[in-house]
Structure 1
Amino acid sequence: MKKIIIYTILIPALLFSSACNEEFLERLPLDSPSSETYFANETELEMAVTGVYNRLWYFPVGIAWFLSFDFASDDGWDRNGSDLQALGRGEQNADNGYTNGFWSHFYRGINRVNFITSKGDHLRQEMDPAKYDRLVGEARFLRAYFYAYLTELYGDVPLVTTNLSLEESQTPRSSKEAVIDFVLSELNEIKDQLPMNAAEKGRVTKGVALALISRVALWNERWQESAAAAKELMDANAYQIDPDYEGMFTFAGDNSSEVIMRIQYLRGVATHNMPRNFWSRMALGHSNKKPPQDMVDTYDCIDGLPIDESPLFNPQSPFENRDPRLNYTLVVPGSRLVNWIYETHRDSTMTWEFRGNEKIRVPNIEAAHAYASFTGYLYRKHIDVANYPTDVGSTDQNLTIFRLGEVLLNYAEAKVELNQLDETVYNALNAIRGRESVQMPAIEGGKTQEELRNIVRKERRHELGMEGFRYFDIRRWRVAEDIMPGPYRGRVNRYGGGGWLSEAPMIDEMGTPNYDNISNADEMVVVETRAFNPERDYLWPIPRIELETNTALTQNPNY
């Protein structure tokens, strides 16, 4: 009753006041900024641009947004009963909370940038023009970044670059080509307004803009543009391959010569719980996000041969003589995680714990815990042992979103697709493979275009594993329909068994394992059975709520 009475009294009062004084509803707030007066000075512009950066703090399923995609690929599975699981099973729809969240999150960021570009022009005459161009350039970069992901996920999307009135809100989808034209045009226009390296870590730079151009152009088969942007960045010599692959994804990565940009976190303002999601129960984690046996088996041996061809591969000691990036990226049985030897076989009821210089036997929680890793493996990348024990659930460890290794692979792939198989392609690949902590054999010259194409695709999986690229790679290569369907497998893990495959699986040219030849394949854990409909699943559904509120939108096919 109180609410009804209040509304009954208040509404006539407002109507009466507006009739008596037309300026009543035009009063600006006295204790906070107003959209009508905002950008009165340089400080307010800086605050607004910082607000756009805040859109990078997004954790749709408990981990950083740009990493979460890979748990809908053949490289990952999310144990939580979230809507992300539906993507792997091909069961997503227009009400899926995970896919819907990205639409609203990115468009909120875009709206912030549109406000800046619409309201801030006058400041260029009132502050240092170069600083104004840099700040607005950073914001425009982030808008282009958001649009690049929107088009990869949903295809055609509304291209909105100004503040819209209510009358203009019924906005149709623009073609993906038009959006990508805008993205690349924006990036090329702003890149020279940005320094190659930032005075403050985490800010957008010319190097970041060139890295995104190379990525977006590659994703959209604009090979020449991708190669040109990558080469411009490489020739600038502002970044070098980091000899320490594993350290690049820890706290030490803040000072890595290879890192182009990291998302910045700050205790008390923005933290994340990646260790909780990735680590084992004994390390105070929940083992939520986990890789499959398939990803383990894709890594070559140290002689550069796949495990089904290399004489160095021993099925009973499957992690020996392997590409070092396997152990830098994943936690495998028998390896150390924080203070314990990680072991997941059901017969391993005891394990080793490190206490200073001592090593003692202790009960192994991972062997029988209902919520230990279902696949027997965990992710190591992006987590620093310094997070243990106090920061497992809330760390301010920064996360890498652009680095030189990706740019080199973008360059190599673009050149291969252009059939320009010159020495620079081999140099790019071998710079990555030859880093001090990896030292995989160099790729020798004389390869065909098809051979190099497969080498690049394998290298992307090995070098960029769990960095948020695999999901987009298998979709843009149009191979998801071949790779995704079928069982998502973990290790052999039955009581009384050895815990290993009886022999190496068959590995195809792109590094994808096939287990049809394995005599004990039926002993592998099957986490779930996945599906992929090529007539639908290469795009996400447009959120139902968006279709209902913006009737100019149309749905993607077969949703």
Structure 2
Amino acid sequence: MRTIKYILLSCMACLFLSCTKEFLDRKPIDFLAPDNFKTENDIKEAVNGIYRAYVSDKNEPIYTDFIVDNGYFPDYRDMWNRTYNNETSYIVNKWSRDYKVILRANTVLAYIDNVKLPEATYKQYKGEATFLRALAYSDLSFFFGGVPMRLKPEGLEDANKPLSSNADIVELVLKDLEDAAALLPVSYAASEKGRATKGAALAIKARVLLYNKRYEEAAAYCVKVKALNYYKIMPDYKTMFLPEGEAGNLETIFDMQFQTNALPQGLSNSWYDRFYLFSGYQVSHDLYEQYYSTNGLSITNSANTLYNPAVRTSDLVAPSTYVLNGGYDNRFQNRDPRMHFSIVVPYTIDSYNATTKAPGVFYPTDKKAANLTSFRVRKYVEYTNYNVSGISGVNPIIIRYADVLLMEAEALVEKGGYDQTYVYSLINQVRQRTSVMMPKVETAEGTALSPEALRNVIRHERRVEFAFEGLRIFDIMRWGIGTDTYKDLKGFNPAKLTRFASTGIVYEITTALARTPFDASKGYLWPIPKTELDANKGIN
């Protein structure tokens, strides 16, 4: 790394913003040197500076779904095609973001003992800094493997740092998360919502253990999260990803906090722009097919009598009154409700007039220059932004309770010797939230499933439950299924999905974009950025 200044972002409260995000309602005005850490407020602002570093790359973590098999966006083509190198911006940005978090956390941890603080406050701030450092190192470990281990504020004299083994990085992460869990509270007042908690530390530790195939320990830490008796499956899947659903959301364990209509302060993101105003973010046909019918059967299963591919042409074409009244084409009816909460399928409402608030219909042919698959993203889209860009306040979720339940189920199956009824119950809790109510495992897939069959059930559930949450890339890499998943982008040909009866409606599955075949010899790890290799002579 190049010279690292001992500086941290100092922030001030920003007026007129919601008190529910008070701790992140900050406007950057200055940088504070550690020798000026004298008061509780100085430490608080320094800790807030770590959070600001964590959310500084606003692509994270959602964009990774568009470099795997869930979708595509042209700007990510090198990442999607795995033709990246150590100068590709997304690789450089991930490395830079994570080390910015680490170095700010290290500074707080190095100087916090110099400031007199109430015991509870001291534990909280130290716990937050420790947790965020672990979060950054866990990200580096997964994507890069062994990386330089930096545990204190460093200057130019410490620039040359050799790579620590991935095993050592993982052990550091696990220790930091254990320490953080011991220091952090279970919850905060509403004004401090979004800060790291005990549950976040335990849940991320469970994830790290699972990803490193330490299944018995992973299951145990999932149980520890549940034992807090704080988190639960929220009934409404759709609003969990929108600002309107934040109040009382006890499923989200940790997320990246943003604020609606706070662009001047840098506290809004652009996911509304990307998914709604842009058409280039497109969803793969492969993901679309994963959303089963409400009888629990795949739409490719010949025994599925609920799936009807017949086209309702007269109902769909302009003026599309049937669609504007909430209707779907036959093939999109009786499907897993998470599909319509997550994806915009052809001939559905996907816009609202900024003046009249009247709904508009998605005709794929109108977007064919930019969208090649005829599917768009609905999750995270605040339609009430009414075409105003850069003001989205959606909070990308890092980990939520549904993940804890499915991680525990996976860990138990991989460990072996599990109670099948108990594992079924974990999956069913996710499937049967009030707004989803997909059939239970024993009803849809059957009883007495083999471990392999149950593994496939869990993997499928993760695919549809966590679409566009940035988890798919981790699942592909840790399961080693690149050959099966890094394939051509397919979709419905948008030119055949028109708005006029005279031109007709044909759902023609086509290859929208060819992909370079997966090269197993290349592996999954990303290359260490050239900027780091140039600056750090400790790396051979």
TM-score, length-scaled by structure 1? 0.80
TM-superposition CA deviations, 1:147-186 (whole Å, max 9, x none): 1111111111111111234333211111111111110111
- Return the alpha-carbon distance in structure 2 between the equivalents of residues 155 and 551 of structure 1: 18
Q: Which residue of 2 aligns with 1:263?
A: 256
- Return the alpha-carbon distance in structure 2 between the equivalents of residues 122 and 274 of structure 1: 41
Deviation of residue 421 (structure 1)?
2.7
1:321 aligns with 2:319: no
> What is the correspondence of 1:425-464 to structure 2 with a 5 Å cutoff?
425-444=423-442, 445-464=447-466
Corresponding residue SS for 1:119: helix
**What is the letter of the counterpart of residue 500 of structure 1?**
Y
- Return the alpha-carbon distance in structure 1 between the equivalents of residues 30 and 224 of structure 2: 44
* 1:331 and 1:337 in contact (8 A); partners too: yes
- Return the alpha-carbon distance in structure 2 between the equivalents of residues 418 and 212 of structure 1: 19
Deviation of residue 192 (structure 1)?
2.2
Q: Which residue of 1 aligns with 2:187?
A: 197
**What is the letter of the counterpart of residue 164 of structure 1?**
E
Deviation of residue 36 (structure 1)?
5.3
> What is the correspondence of 1:81-480 to structure 2 with a 5 Å cutoff?
82=75, 84-123=76-115, 126-199=116-189, 200-255=192-247, 256-266=249-259, 267=262, 268-269=264-265, 270-279=267-276, 285-309=277-301, 310-316=304-310, 317-339=330-352, 367-369=365-367, 371-390=369-388, 392-422=389-419, 423-444=421-442, 445-480=447-482
What are structure 2's unaligned runs of at least 5 residues?
Answer: 1-28, 311-329, 497-502
Deviation of residue 261 (structure 1)?
2.5
* 2:270 and 2:391 in contact (8 A); partners too: yes
How many residue pairs get aligned? The number is 473
Q: Which residue of 2 aligns with 1:75?
A: 70
Corresponding residue SS for 1:489: strand
- Return the alpha-carbon distance in structure 2 between the equivalents of residues 69 and 386 of structure 1: 26
Deviation of residue 528 (structure 1)?
3.7
- Return the alpha-carbon distance in structure 1 between the equivalents of residues 378 and 345 of structure 2: 9
Corresponding residue SS for 2:390: coil
Corresponding residue SS for 2:522: coil
Post-superposition, which runs of at least 4 consecutive aligned residues in structure 1 deviate over 6 A?
A: 362-365
Deviation of residue 222 (structure 1)?
1.4
Deviation of residue 494 (structure 1)?
4.1
1:535 and 1:241, CA in 2 relative to 1: closer, same or farther beyond 3 A?
same
Deviation of residue 366 (structure 1)?
5.1
Q: Which residue of 2 aligns with 1:535?
A: 521
> Sequence identity of aligned pairs in percent?
32
TM-superposition CA deviations, 1:76-116 (whole Å, max 9, x none): 2113xx3x310221211111111111111111110111111
1:35 aligns with 2:36: no
The higher radius of gyration belongs to 1
**What is the letter of the counterpart of residue 276 of structure 1?**
D
* 2:350 and 2:362 in contact (8 A); partners too: no
- Return the alpha-carbon distance in structure 1 between the equivalents of residues 220 and 350 of structure 2: 41
Measured on the aligned residues, the alpha-carbon RMSD in Å equals 2.3
- Return the alpha-carbon distance in structure 2 between the equivalents of residues 321 and 150 of structure 1: 41
Corresponding residue SS for 2:406: helix
- Return the alpha-carbon distance in structure 2 between the equivalents of residues 364 and 461 of structure 1: 25
1:490 aligns with 2:491: yes
Deviation of residue 205 (structure 1)?
0.5
- Return the alpha-carbon distance in structure 1 between the equivalents of residues 491 and 390 of structure 2: 26
* 2:409 and 2:458 in contact (8 A); partners too: yes
- Return the alpha-carbon distance in structure 2 between the equivalents of residues 530 and 409 of structure 1: 32
* 1:375 and 1:527 in contact (8 A); partners too: no
- Return the alpha-carbon distance in structure 2 between the equivalents of residues 265 and 163 of structure 1: 28
* 1:195 and 1:206 in contact (8 A); partners too: yes
- Return the alpha-carbon distance in structure 2 between the equivalents of residues 56 and 165 of structure 1: 21
1:146 and 1:324, CA in 2 relative to 1: closer, same or farther beyond 3 A?
same
Deviation of residue 526 (structure 1)?
1.4
What are structure 1's unaligned runs of at least 5 residues?
Answer: 1-30, 280-284, 341-352, 502-520, 555-559
- Return the alpha-carbon distance in structure 1 between the equivalents of residues 351 and 85 of structure 2: 40
